[in-house]
């Protein structure tokens, strides 16, 4: 069942995004009856005595604004528990460090965000001596071959940054379940609007809230959502007591505010991206367009099955030199060259120009073509976006 097929569920998603969580009696913010969760900047809360337990005592451990956002992200992903962390990388590293002991075993998709790849190769494997096994997760059998009863965590991202590869969440979740191994999914590219990994059997969902959830390129943050009480306890302990990597109240407010328009933005992102993908597909200097919404994407059928839409990220391969790509980027006036993604404005990134160590890196787990261009398609008028690309391409 996808959200597109299920009008009721889809309506509920938007209702939750707008803030049903905030308006329940539980989120009735004190005597002022705020409709929006206020920003609680207090680092500490008055002790109410030996016989009463404070809901909040110290803001690293819990804070009312953060608690409201955590409830909201958990409900968006259909999970029990949410945590709001200082960045997407904080969310990923906290998950890995909490669940995999030094000397443990972690199986990861080989196609992942460059920062996650560095975390895994340099810190998780290099520093902690964890055995990290990278596999091509497009084939669930590769995961099945790598996992054994001693595996501590399976990790995947789908669709992946920047190659837009998918993995079959349900099949991998079945493998994880058979071995009693937790399975974590980075759902940043799809956003909870288009993909619900927990419903498909994953145990943990992670987001860089910096991207679609906040949506306005003005906050760095991360979130973890899980249904599993034991996993939640481990992660919450690491985050709140051991590592202290919490999202600030002001950033919590920004993300909570961004989430309210997530459904409206995601629909618009997708419509524009489909128009851009079709335009690029027909261009004679572009050899491949990586967008799961195109039927030519090798995993289009899987995308149609496990996602309810294809989101706003695509990449393409250009038949030409880096100098020509540079001229193309300079010729764009609506797309801004820059890293990051998921904001309302359109961005263009060329990994080999802007992130060269991601491309010319011998320890890279996947090859990123030198002439790959990644677009984060915003919510501007699609005619303007298409015209911008058309006139900047040679």
Active-site residues, by number, are 60, 113, 186, 211
What CA–CA distances, in Å, run from 242 to 60, 69, 97, 234, 308? 10, 21, 11, 10, 37
Instruction: Provide the 3-class DSSP secondary structure of residue 246.
Output: strand
Helix 262-281 × helix 382-392 angle, to 10°: 30
Total residues at interface with ligand PLP (CB under 6 A): 14
188 lies in the binding site for ligand PLP (CB under 6 A): yes
Both tokens of 352, joined, read 């080999």
Both tokens of 292, joined, read 């799961």
109 lies in the binding site for ligand PLP (CB under 6 A): no
Q: Give me the 125-164 binding string for ligand PLP, x by CB under 6 A, dash otherwise.
A: --------------------------------x---x---
Instruction: Name the segment binding ligand PLP (CB under 6 A); options: 67-75, 182-190, 268-276, 289-297.
Output: 182-190
187 lies in the binding site for ligand PLP (CB under 6 A): no
Are the CB atoms for 154 and 120 separated by under 8 Å? Answer: no
220 lies in the binding site for ligand PLP (CB under 6 A): yes
What is the Cα–Cα distance from 271 to 287, expressed in whole angstroms? 22
Q: How many CA atoms lie within 13 A of 283 on its CB side?
A: 24
H or E element in which residue 153 lies: strand 153-157
Between 72 and 191, name the residue whose CB sits nearer to ligand PLP: 191
What is the Cα–Cα distance from 342 to 191, expressed in whole angstroms? 9
Q: Count CB neighbours of 55 within 10 A.
A: 10
315 lies in the binding site for ligand PLP (CB under 6 A): no
Options 77, 186, 349, 388; binder of ligand PLP; rule CB under 6 A? 186
Options 38, 115, 201, 320; binder of ligand PLP; rule CB under 6 A? 115
Q: How far is the CB of 87 from ligand PLP (least distance, A)?
A: 3
Instruction: Name the segment binding ligand PLP (CB under 6 A); options: 82-90, 128-136, 253-261, 348-356.
Output: 82-90
> 94, 120, 168: which is closest to 365 by C-alpha?
120
88 lies in the binding site for ligand PLP (CB under 6 A): yes
Options 109, 151, 210, 226; binder of ligand PLP; rule CB under 6 A? 210
Both tokens of 312, joined, read 């706003």
273 lies in the binding site for ligand PLP (CB under 6 A): no
Instruction: Name the segment binding ligand PLP (CB under 6 A); options: 87-95, 102-110, 167-175, 289-297.
Output: 87-95
- CA 316 to centroid of chain Cα atoms: 21
Q: How far is the CB of 222 from ligand PLP (least distance, A)?
A: 6
Between 2 and 355, name the residue whose CB sits nearer to ligand PLP: 355
Between 222 and 351, name the residue whose CB sits nearer to ligand PLP: 222
Are the CB atoms for 173 and 55 separated by under 8 Å? Answer: no
Both tokens of 5, joined, read 């097929």
299 lies in the binding site for ligand PLP (CB under 6 A): no
Instruction: Provide the 3-class DSSP secondary structure of residue 285.
Output: coil
Length of the chain: 394
What is the Cα–Cα distance from 88 to 220, expressed in whole angstroms? 8
Between 206 and 279, name the residue whose CB sits nearer to ligand PLP: 206
231 lies in the binding site for ligand PLP (CB under 6 A): no
184 lies in the binding site for ligand PLP (CB under 6 A): no
Q: How many CA atoms lie within 13 A of 81 on its CB side?
A: 15
Q: Which residues bind ligand PLP (CB under 6 A)?
A: 87-89, 113, 115, 157, 161, 186, 188-189, 208, 210, 220, 222
């Amino acid at each position: 069942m996808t959200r597109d097929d299920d009008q009721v569920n889809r309506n509920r998603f938007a209702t939750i995004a707008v803030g049903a969580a905030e308006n329940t009696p539980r989120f009735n913010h004190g005597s002022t009856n705020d409709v929006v969760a206020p920003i609680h900047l207090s680092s500490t809360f008055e002790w109410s005595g030996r016989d009463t337990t404070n809901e909040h005592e110290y803001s690293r451990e819990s804070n009312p604004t953060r608690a409201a956002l955590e409830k909201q992200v958990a409900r968006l992903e259909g999970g029990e528990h949410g945590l709001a962390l200082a960045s997407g990388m904080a969310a990923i590293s906290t998950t890995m460090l909490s669940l995999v002991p030094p000397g443990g075993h972690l199986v990861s998709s080989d196609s992942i965000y460059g920062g996650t790849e560095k975390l895994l190769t340099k810190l998780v494997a290099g520093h902690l001596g964890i055995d990290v096994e990278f596999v091509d997760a497009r084939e669930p059998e590769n995961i099945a071959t790598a996992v054994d009863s001693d595996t501590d965590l399976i990790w995947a991202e789908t669709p992946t940054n920047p190659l837009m590869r998918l993995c079959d969440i349900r099949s991998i979740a079945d493998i994880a379940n058979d071995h009693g191994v937790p399975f974590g999914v980075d759902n940043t590219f799809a956003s909870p609007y288009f993909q619900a990994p927990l419903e498909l059997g994953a145990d943990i969902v992670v987001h860089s809230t910096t991207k679609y959830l906040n949506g306005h390129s003005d906050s760095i943050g991360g979130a973890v959502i899980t249904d599993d009480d034991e996993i939640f306890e481990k992660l919450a302990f690491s985050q709140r007591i051991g590592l202290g990597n919490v999202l600030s109240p002001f950033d919590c407010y920004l993300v909570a505010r961004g989430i309210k328009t997530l459904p409206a933005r995601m629909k618009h992102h997708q419509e524009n991206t489909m128009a851009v993908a079709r335009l690029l597909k027909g261009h004679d200097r572009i050899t491949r367009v990586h967008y799961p919404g195109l039927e030519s994407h090798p995993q289009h059928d899987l995308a149609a099955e496990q996602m309810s839409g294809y989101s706003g990220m695509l990449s393409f391969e250009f038949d030409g030199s880096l100098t020509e790509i540079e001229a193309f980027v300079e010729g764009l006036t609506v797309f801004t060259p820059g890293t990051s993604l998921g904001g309302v404005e359109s961005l263009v990134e060329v990994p080999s120009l802007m992130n060269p160590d991601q491309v010319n890196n011998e320890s890279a787990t996947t090859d990123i073509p030198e002439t790959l261009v990644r677009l984060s398609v915003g919510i501007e008028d699609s005619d303007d976006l298409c015209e911008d690309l058309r006139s900047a391409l040679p």
